[in-house]
Amino acid sequence: MPPSSVNPPSADTGVDVVIVGAGFSGLYLLHRLRKQGLSTRCFERGDGVGGTWYWNRYPGARCDVESMQYSYGFDNELQQEWNWPEKFSGHADIRAYADHVTDRFGLRSHIDFETEVRAAHYDEGPRLWRIQTSTGEKITARHFVMAGGCISTAQIPNFEGLADYTGKTYHTGRWPHEAVSFAGLRVAVIGTGSSAIQAIPVIAQEAAHLTVFQRQANFTIPSRNHPMTADYADTWKNGYAEKRHEMRYMPNGVLRELNDKSALEVTEAERLATYEERWRIGGSGFLGAFNDIMTNREANDTMAEFVRNKIRQTVKDPVTAEVLCPKTHPIGTKRLCVDTGYFETYNRDNVELVDISQTPIDRLTGNGLTVNGRDFTFDAIVFATGFDAMTGTLFNVDIRGRGGLELKTKWAAGPRTYLGLMTERFPNLFMITGPGSPSVKSNMITSIEQHVDLVADTIIHMRDRGLAVIEPERAAEDEWVDHVQEVAYKTLFPQANSWYMGANIPGKPRLFMPYIAGVGRYRRICEDVVGEGYKGFRFEAEQAMAAN
């Protein structure tokens, strides 16, 4: 007999769990909960699955965690049967995988596509979430799970004259589904973050002329992507059980070689040879060259200067090379980018770099933009200007907890969570990879699986024990918020004006959002919390409701 639902039958269209998002979080959560006989609704604003990979279809969009690791580990047959064509997959291959998973586990018919959750209000009487969607539907749920991703609210700065521009505009994070051709066009890219650094080399090959507007230069490492070999895939497939386990306790949820030496304890020759070897291998594992890169500025400077010298060797025009050399932040404190031919692109005759660090874009005009009095004309502008990360997507829903408290109000000075999973006064609201969890500082799929398992196990734990409500204790939350900051401030991360700090959004409070003590340490903390009877959480029993 299937286990019974946790939600008592009611006149409302009530379900046990409402899930927002059908990306990698939402899909796996839907699978876990349905397998346990729970009733669900899953709402997705796109018309397909894949989350971030559904939206980020810009030219060159590719994951920088290798696919043998950036993939689900919850089902052995799935990981054995799926074949990745390249070491680092492009967006279309990752979407194909998300589609495969959706159909393989029969999830598609359980997702409401092109539907946004607009509001979720906690009703303290029946202890339910009252949820309203963009189609006007109203439903109730015992549990409400925000699985909408950390980097999914695209941001276009409020440039003066934005509405005057009559050419084509694109944002990397909301790329059209139909093919976009830049052939013969004068194109601008604004921004030089991870998205721009992937898109620029591809757009440059097609456009008549490309102008890149750079505010801060960024560190990027060659990806050295290549077609998957059968031998390499087999080493993973034959050892997946152990490898997945090991990944789950690695600092970033990625199995890679870490060097436990300080950059300052070796000779300069050894240090340079180590950087050279990691540069040859490529990818974001570069940061693991020494154990103090993210904690010691002197050690960090040696790595930063190595990369700057690579830029100087690659870019032929010395003035352009110097503008491309990042000097505003220690390497790794803003997301390290990974590229294919980025710096080489500036050797092309049809590419110009415009430094806007001292003189920002004045305004957009009818046919382009002006910087420092110079007019530029463009047929198309690509905004690679990033996202309102980690909190933007949560705030897009009108979420209200006990006493009608708005999440936005509670988090006015920055996000406050216990374990990045829940927030006090918002009972039965879970966040998958929320602020205060390793999330964006890790292999997202490793962290997603850990959170989904924790949330699904908790909901089942509650059902099996007749528990109606779970909510973090205020003291546990306060302690966790302090701990997340304390860990961050022992590193160099807060020295950068990064989106990790909320620094890219005017008016957003400055608080370091991800938990950076490592995926392994975080997982152990969660295991201890559960092992000690959900330490830091309080429960309410179903009976209490019946007595009310």
Candidates 208-216, 255-263, 464-472, 539-547; binding stretch for ligand N01 (CB under 6 A): 208-216
The yes or no reply on residue 64 touching ligand N01 (CB under 6 A) is yes
Q: Which of 6, 151, 394, 429 binds ligand N01 (CB under 6 A)?
A: 151
The yes or no reply on residue 212 touching ligand N01 (CB under 6 A) is no
b/e map of 166-195 (b: 16 or more CB within 10 Å)?
Answer: ebeebbbbebeeeebebeebbbbbbbbbbb
Q: Beta strand pairing status for 374-377 and 168-171? A: unpaired
The yes or no reply on residue 196 touching ligand N01 (CB under 6 A) is yes
In angstroms, the CA 179 to CA 519 distance is 38
Closest CA to 370 of 211, 226, 234: 211
Q: Which of 115, 140, 194, 252 binds ligand N01 (CB under 6 A)?
A: 194
In angstroms, the CA 259 to CA 167 distance is 50
Q: What token pair was written down for 353?
A: 């770099």
Candidates 30-38, 136-144, 243-251, 380-388; binding stretch for ligand N01 (CB under 6 A): 380-388
Toward ligand N01, which CB reaches closer, 193 or 434?
193
Q: Based on C-alpha coordinates, what's the Rg of the chain?
A: 24
The yes or no reply on residue 446 touching ligand N01 (CB under 6 A) is no
The yes or no reply on residue 393 touching ligand N01 (CB under 6 A) is no
Q: Which of 384, 390, 462, 511 binds ligand N01 (CB under 6 A)?
A: 384
Candidates 184-192, 302-310, 316-324, 527-535; binding stretch for ligand N01 (CB under 6 A): 184-192
The yes or no reply on residue 63 touching ligand N01 (CB under 6 A) is yes
In angstroms, the CA 288 to CA 240 distance is 23
Q: How many helices (H) and strands (E) does the chain have?
A: 16, 20
In angstroms, the CA 95 to CA 54 distance is 7
Toward ligand N01, which CB reaches closer, 192 or 446?
192
Q: How far is the CB of 412 from ligand N01 (least distance, A)?
A: 23
Candidates 211-219, 248-256, 390-398, 464-472; binding stretch for ligand N01 (CB under 6 A): 211-219
In angstroms, the CA 69 to CA 446 distance is 8
SS3 19: strand
- For the chain, the residue count is 548
Interface mask toward ligand N01 for 104-143; x: CB under 6 A: ----------------------------------------
Q: How far is the CB of 282 from ligand N01 (least distance, A)?
A: 12
Q: How far is the CB of 157 from ligand N01 (least distance, A)?
A: 3
**What one-letter code names the amino acid at 468?**
A
Angle, helices 519-531 vs 444-465, to 10°: value is 10
Q: How far is the CB of 390 from ligand N01 (least distance, A)?
A: 11
In angstroms, the CA 130 to CA 140 distance is 5
- Residues binding ligand N01 (CB under 6 A): 63-64, 151, 157, 172, 190-196, 198, 213, 215-216, 335, 338, 356, 361, 384-387, 440, 499, 504
